[in-house]
């Protein structure tokens, strides 16, 4: 299913409901698009730099020529040529910067589509080939107005504020062979503190700093009661069954008669680390299925 480039450029969101193989093919197309955009952006940035250096060289040459003692007509002609050349080079520099900016929007976060592809590969082993999955994958940055959830006063810096942002960039839903339905989401969190800071010289300078708070991963398994009805009996054992990487911790775990809900926070320093996120998601699925399999044995 070809990706609508114009629509994707505008909203930076890939959303679909299709078979896993089709979705994975689309993710490969996104990877190719990202790679092309990155190459084009680098190319135009380099050209812009070369033209900028050429403009600087022309300006220096113009200054040097201005010091020469030659006939006024010849000097004026050289200055005109240098002036026109400099303007032409400046226009070329600006043109390449504009071209580069057009591709910068398509130079998306690699780890998001690479991670999603790996997760789909893992989950598809226990899914029917013709079953559809629902996927919404966003490549928007986190610090944008639509992701701001609140603004608070800084706890100890006078006249400073803190903006809190959150961005759910992954939503994935599907069904396994055993009829268990899953819903997986990943939400990035950050805070930006900003305000005016007075230096030792007495001058005021605006400061702003953004820090990651972490990544929240939420997994819900809606299981068939006939097969796994004994899960409620194991509610006290569920927590002990959960195993996570060292830089992740469980925020919440809830067992109901129809589902298991699990929320995990991944540490800020690895919140964009593809391998760390993948390992966390994998261990979340394995931990909950360990409980379901034990419930299946008890049900017999």
Q: With 90 as the cut, is the pLDDT of residue 225 above it? A: no
**What pLDDT was estimated at residue 300?**
63
Please tell me the distance from the alpha carbon of residue 159 to that of residue 153, in angstroms, as a whole number. 7
Per-residue tokens: 80: 């005109």
C-alpha 157/C-alpha 152 separation (Å) is 12
Strand partners, 190: 165, 212
Lookup: tokens for 284: 């979340």
Give which of 171, 135, 184, 170 is closest to 283, Cα–Cα. Answer: 184
With a pLDDT cut of 90, the percent of the chain lying above it is 59
**Packed helices 110-124 and 274-299: angle between N→C axes, nearest 10 degrees:** 20
pLDDT per residue as tens digits for the range 184-207: 999 999 999 999 887 777 788 888
Question: Which whole-number Å values give the CA distances from 41 to 10, 47, 102, 113, 184, in the listed order?
Answer: 18, 10, 8, 20, 33
Give the pTM.
0.84
> What's the Cα-to-Cα distance from 222 to each of 133, 173, 269, rounded to whole Å?
15, 11, 32
Angle between helices 110-124 and 20-66 (to 10 degrees): 170
163 within 8 A of 211, measured Cβ to Cβ: no
Q: What is the reported pLDDT for 238?
A: 78
**b/e per residue 44-61 (b: at least 16 CB within 10 A):** bbebbeebbebbeebeee
Q: Cβ atoms within 10 A of the Cβ of 105, count?
A: 14
CB 171 within 8 A of CB 155: no
Average pLDDT score over the chain:
89
Q: Is the pLDDT of residue 72 over 60?
A: no
Q: Does residue 1 carry a pLDDT above 60? A: no
Which whole number is the average pLDDT over 253-272? 92
Given a contact cutoff of 8 angstroms between Cβ atoms, the answer to whether 1 and 18 are in contact is: yes
Who contacts 17 (Cβ-Cβ below 8 Å, separation ≥6)? 132, 133, 134, 135
Nearest to 244 by CA among 272, 280, 271: 280
């Amino acid at each position: 299913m070809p990706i609508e480039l114009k629509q994707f450029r505008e909203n930076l969101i890939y959303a679909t409901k299709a078979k896993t193989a089709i979705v994975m093919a689309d993710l490969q197309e996104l990877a190719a698009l990202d790679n092309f955009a990155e190459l084009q952006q680098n190319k135009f940035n380099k050209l812009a730099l070369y033209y900028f250096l050429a403009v600087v060289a022309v300006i220096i040459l113009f200054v040097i020529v201005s010091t020469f003692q030659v006939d006024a007509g010849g000097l004026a002609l050289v200055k005109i040529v240098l002036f026109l050349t400099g303007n032409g080079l400046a226009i070329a520099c600006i043109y390449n910067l504009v071209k580069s900016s057009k591709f910068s929007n398509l130079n998306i976060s690699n780890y998001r589509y690479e991670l999603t592809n790996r997760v789909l590969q893992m989950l598809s082993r226990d899914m029917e080939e013709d079953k559809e999955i629902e996927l919404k994958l966003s490549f928007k940055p986190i610090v944008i107005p639509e992701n701001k959830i609140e603004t608070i006063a800084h706890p100890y810096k006078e006249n400073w504020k803190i903006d809190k942002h959150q961005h759910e960039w992954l939503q994935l839903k599907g069904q396994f062979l055993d009829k268990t339905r899953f819903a997986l989401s990943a939400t990035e969190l950050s805070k930006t503190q900003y305000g005016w800071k007075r230096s030792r010289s007495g001058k005021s300078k605006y400061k702003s700093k953004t820090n990651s708070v972490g990544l929240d991963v939420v997994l819900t398994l809606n299981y068939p009661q006939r097969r796994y009805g004994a899960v409620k009996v194991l509610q006290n054992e569920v927590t002990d069954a959960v195993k996570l990487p060292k830089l992740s911790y469980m925020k919440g775990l809830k067992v109901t008669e129809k589902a298991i809900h699990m929320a995990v926070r991944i540490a800020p320093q690895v919140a964009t680390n593809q391998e760390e996120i993948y390992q966390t998601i994998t261990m979340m699925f394995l931990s909950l299925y360990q409980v379901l399999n034990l419930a299946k044995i008890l049900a017999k």
